[in-house]
Amino acid sequence: MLVIKKILKIIVIIVAILISLFIILTISVNYYGQKSINQPQPAMTSSTFELMLSDPHLFYGASFSYGLCHSEIANEDGGCHSEIYLYDSGQYISTGYWEGIGNKRIDAPSVEKKFGKIVMDKIIKLIRDSEIMNKECPDGMTVDASWDYQLQLGDQKKRFINRPVECQPTLDEVDKIIAEATKAE
């Protein structure tokens, strides 16, 4: 009988410890403002890029960010960011900036061009021939960099995030055509 009382006493102590831990963890999670799994997360605010992607006339959108980018003007390292927008009308817009310590920011001059039918047809043909709109393009693993693309061909829309390894060669070709057209015009 004495053994049973000792075992029951140990069980009661273990249960009390577990209940105490549960209460402490619950209080600390609520105190420090962390969200529980069941609570909905607040919506993220949209960046300019996100707003531009919602434009139904955007044919190609790309956003690139990477670290360890040196600024001669600020004479320090930081992060470089660039965004490309190409509309079905052929309007091309490129923006970019450097960001350093303490939210220091240096904007690069924006570039705006109007691409002709030949350039647009070349990009459309590349996209159609590659069948990228129907391919699986899993995200690749990247360190200290991010890529975000969106293609819209007719009523088909597809978004790629974080260097889609299997589809990257096609996206690189689109970027190459755009770079050549920007220099030529």
What was the pLDDT predicted at 34?
Answer: 35
The stretch 102-127 carries a mean pLDDT of 92
* Tens digits of residue pLDDT in 26-40: 443 333 333 332 333
- How many CB atoms sit inside 10 A of residue 155's CB? 6
- Please give the structure tokens belonging to residue 135: 């391919």
Q: Average pLDDT over the chain, rounded to whole?
A: 78
Query: What's the pTM?
Result: 0.67
Categorize the per-residue pLDDT at 161 as very low, low, confident or very high, splitting at 50, 70 and 90. confident
3-state secondary structure (DSSP) of residue 96: strand
Residue 168 near residue 151, CB atoms below 8 Å: no
Which ranges of the chain does DSSP label H, i.e. alpha helix?
Answer: 2-31, 48-53, 117-130, 168-184
| Maximum average pLDDT range among 19-28, 84-93, 103-112 | 84-93
Please tell me the predicted confidence (pLDDT) of residue 180.
94
Which amino acid would we find at residue 119? V
Burial group, residue 59, by CB count within 10 angstroms (0-12, 13-18, 19+) = buried
Which run of H or E residues covers position 165? Answer: none
Digit-coded pLDDT (tens) for 130-159: 999 888 888 877 777 888 888 998 888 888
